[in-house]
Amino acid sequence: MRDEVTLLGLRLDARLLVVVVASTMLLLVDEYHDPFGDAFGSSLRGAAAESVALYLVIPAAIVVVGFRDSVREYGFRVGDWRAGLRWTAGVLLVLAPVLFVAANTSEVREYYAGSDRSFLDVLVVSGTDLFAWEFLFRGFLLFGMYRAIGAPAVVLQAVPFAMAHLGKPELETMTTVLGGMGFGWIAWRTDSFLYPFLIHWGLNVFVRLVASS
């Protein structure tokens, strides 16, 4: 793929342009359309299936077919696993007491409680959903922008991440700007989106368990 394109007199980094536009369009499609309907029998499973298609398969195809790059260059690797596991364990331990309190607020309990799905089902489905989410934000978007603009990518990828939480409890959404930056820094530090995924997954399951208890 060409490194630069000229659009209406503007010289633009080609990958940066594609990554930003594609990520934005995928988020909008997810917001306004339900491509799988009731095929998966529940909103949770349907959301996970849509996330895999929109946030994992399509971005990965853009990287491999469109950019002719390896997905490893976009964080799809183990990376610095020692640092990654330390940060994963540390963040989960530090945030668990805070989330326990937050998960007991009426707004959060109302949003996350009431599911009759088994713990294993919630674990697998939420993990699938968040793996795709993390590839989009901390893989495709972060590393795609970082190649063009460097360190600001760690901050900028948190903006659409926060916007994607609109409609969720206000307390959760308000934390996603700094939280998204933190996830982005860990992805950059470890050269992998795996560890932000593990943290995100762990926090999500913990909140669901507490809110439903």
**pLDDT at residue 41, rounded to an integer:** 52
Distance CA 142, CA 75 (A): 9
CB-based contacts of 64: which residues, under 8 Å, 6+ apart?
70, 71
pTM for the whole thing? 0.92
Distance (Å) of CA 192 to CA 51, 143, 144, 154: 19, 9, 13, 13
What digits encode the pLDDT tens for the residues 156-165?
Answer: 999 999 999 9
Helix or strand run (H / E) with residue 13:
strand 10-13
Q: What percentage of the chain carries pLDDT values higher than 70? A: 93
CB-based contacts of 186: which residues, under 8 Å, 6+ apart?
84, 87, 91, 195, 196, 199
**pLDDT at residue 145, rounded to an integer:** 97
**pLDDT at residue 33, rounded to an integer:** 83
Distance CA 73, CA 76 (A): 7
Distance CA 31, CA 10 (A): 30
Lowest mean pLDDT among 20-24, 79-83, 122-126, 204-208: 122-126
Handedness of CA 52, 53, 54, 55 (dihedral sign): positive
Handedness of CA 188, 194, 197, 203 (dihedral sign): negative
CB-based contacts of 190: which residues, under 8 Å, 6+ apart?
79, 80, 81, 83, 84, 87
Phi, psi of 157 (to 5 degrees): -65, -20
* Residue type at position 30: D
Helix or strand run (H / E) with residue 5:
strand 4-7
